[in-house]
């Protein structure tokens, strides 16, 4: 039997610290929701975001929408606790920010596994730094659990000192590297 494919025509970021946004996500016409503990959440609201996302997923009501939890990075004070919480949330996937190497994916999977995550919990990798782009192939092949490379062009633009333009010219190389890596790893 062929595996089923979930469409990802629109995937929206929802700040985990905003209870109204998490509630509104239940009614939005989106294929997926990224429940965010990272960029969209102030430092003093990180624990609130973690708690509210856990409660929102447990409460349900999101229909067929794919629920992805974006954690903070492992290079900061919240990432490990975010992953430990995400392991038991029941999300459809975990999105790791600013992935720059296979080692980051390996470390995240080790934390998830130790915290009791399902062994098939998918990992998504945010590709948003020049170093990450240069390691796109290594990241794409890092684990059978890695399901998706997600472009983060805002942080990439800052690092490249580039401007967003309608034609995306500053990002063509990065987009191409990620596409090639993703298709090669399929």
Residue 6: per-residue pLDDT: 75
128: in domain: yes
Residue 29: per-residue pLDDT: 92
169: in domain: yes
The stretch 48-57 carries a mean pLDDT of 98
6: in domain: no
4: in domain: no
pLDDT above 90 coverage of the chain, percent: 95
Query: Domain containing 17 — which CATH number?
Result: 3.20.20.60
Q: Check residue 170 and report its DSSP letter.
A: G
32: in domain: yes
The stretch 161-180 carries a mean pLDDT of 96
How far, CA to CA in Å, does 51 sit from each of 86, 91, 179? 10, 14, 34
181: in domain: yes
93: in domain: yes
Residue 2: is its pLDDT beyond 60? no
Residue 36: is its pLDDT beyond 80? yes
180: in domain: yes
What gap in Å lies between CA 94 and CA 83, rounded to an integer?
8
Residue 1: per-residue pLDDT: 46
| Residue 5 or residue 37, greater confidence | 37
pTM of the model: 0.95
Mean pLDDT over all residues of the chain?
Answer: 96
The parent domain of residue 21 ranges over: 11-185
Residue 186: per-residue pLDDT: 86
What gap in Å lies between CA 118 and CA 163, rounded to an integer?
40
Domain count for the chain: 1
């Amino acid at each position: 039997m062929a595996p089923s494919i979930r469409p990802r025509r629109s995937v929206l970021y929802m700040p985990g610290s905003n209870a109204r946004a998490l509630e509104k996500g239940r009614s939005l016409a989106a294929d997926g929701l990224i429940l965010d503990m990272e960029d969209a959440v102030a430092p003093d609201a990180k624990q609130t975001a973690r708690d509210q996302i856990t409660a929102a997923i447990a409460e349900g009501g999101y229909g067929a929408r794919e629920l992805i939890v974006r954690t903070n990075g492992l290079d900061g004070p919240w990432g490990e606790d975010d992953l430990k919480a995400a392991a038991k949330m029941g999300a459809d996937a975990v999105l790791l920010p600013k992935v720059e190497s296979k080692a980051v994916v390996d470390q995240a999977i080790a934390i998830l596994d130790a915290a009791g995550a399902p062994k098939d919990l998918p990992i998504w990798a945010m590709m948003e730094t020049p170093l990450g782009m240069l390691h796109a192939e290594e990241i794409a092949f890092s684990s059978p659990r890695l399901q998706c490379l997600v472009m983060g062009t805002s942080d990439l633009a800052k690092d490249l000192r580039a401007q967003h333009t309608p034609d995306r010219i500053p990002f063509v190389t990065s987009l191409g590297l990620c596409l090639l890596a993703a298709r090669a790893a399929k």
